[in-house]
Amino acid sequence: MKKIIALVLAAMLVCTSAVMFTSCGAEEGKKELHMATNAFFEPYEYYDGDKVVGIDAEIAEAICEKLGYELVIDDMDFDSIITAVTSGKADFGMAGMTVTDERLESVDFTDSYTTATQVIIVPEENSKVKGIDDLESASIGVQLGTTGDIYVSDEYEKSGAKIERFNKGADAVLALTQGKVDAVVIDNEPAKAFVAQNDGIKILDDPFADEDYAICVAKDSELTEQINTALSELKEDGTVKKIIDKYIGD
């Protein structure tokens, strides 16, 4: 009798530990890849409820699936992304991020997955800024640490432009709709989303600065090559195009 009880107990123990093991195992089995982003940049990354969606989120998901990782998205200020990657807090940064020589000094970039331009948003009526040259003496809203910020700071701050730097593009656009700045310089697709969401503003015809978007990774990380392989497969089989087309109508 004692033996039987012992056996049953032992069997129960094995079962519970097996159950515990598999249930934890299922969650921990797949290693995570942390993506640093700034999720206020529709259509590349933005919130739908409490979920981050968009072109970057979906391409990252497809890459992680190919590489056998679980994707975790870490939302932060745009100007914290590179530090998150260099410090190892995040495995890669993907945020409609433009490849620049300055950034290449601290991180590596994967192959580019799409291109963009910087554009100027102004009030629909009585705009002080009618063309790119008018930026010289304007007050310009930008998102802190973005290429828009870098270009106008380099080009127009000396000539008397006043640069107002915001943590979110949306805050720069809000300042524009309130008449607190004369123009906003930002990437073309988010600009279109802002114009669609706000009355009384428009995008000027002359865009400037063509850019390549890519994923940033820690210098000399083996992830670069892994991501590039996955990315080229996803480009070849049409997945990247399908994701971009889903979010960018025309």
Alpha carbons 228 and 220: distance in angstroms, whole number: 13
Site string for ligand ARG, 148-187 (x = CB under 6 A): ---------------------------------------x
* Nearest-approach distance from CB 101 to ligand ARG, in angstroms: 13
Taking Cα atoms as reference points, which of 65, 32, 31, 96 lies closest to residue 234?
65
Structure-block tokens of residue 179: 């008449």
**Residue of 85, 96, 135, 185 that binds ligand ARG (CB under 6 A):** 96
How far is the C-alpha of 116 from the C-alpha of 214, rounded, in Å?
Answer: 11
The single residue among 36, 41, 54, 140 that binds ligand ARG, judged by CB under 6 A, is: 41
The residues with which 35 forms a beta bridge, in sequence order, are: 73, 92
Read out DSSP for 94-131?
-SSPBP-HHHHTTEEEEEEEEEEEEEEEEESSS-S--S
3-state secondary structure of 46: strand
Which x/- pattern, by CB under 6 A, does the window 113-152 give for ligand ARG? ------------------------------x--xx-----
Only one of the segments 37-45, 123-131, 157-165, 199-207 lies at the binding site for ligand ARG (rule: CB under 6 A); that segment is: 37-45
Among candidate residues 160, 138, 142, 159, the one with its CA nearest the CA of residue 151: 142
- Our CB check for ligand ARG shows the closer of 69 and 166 to be 166
Q: Which stretch binds ligand ARG (CB under 6 A): 66-74, 91-99, 217-225, 226-234?
A: 91-99
Interface positions with ligand ARG (CB under 6 A)? 37-38, 41, 45, 78, 95-98, 143, 146-147, 187, 211
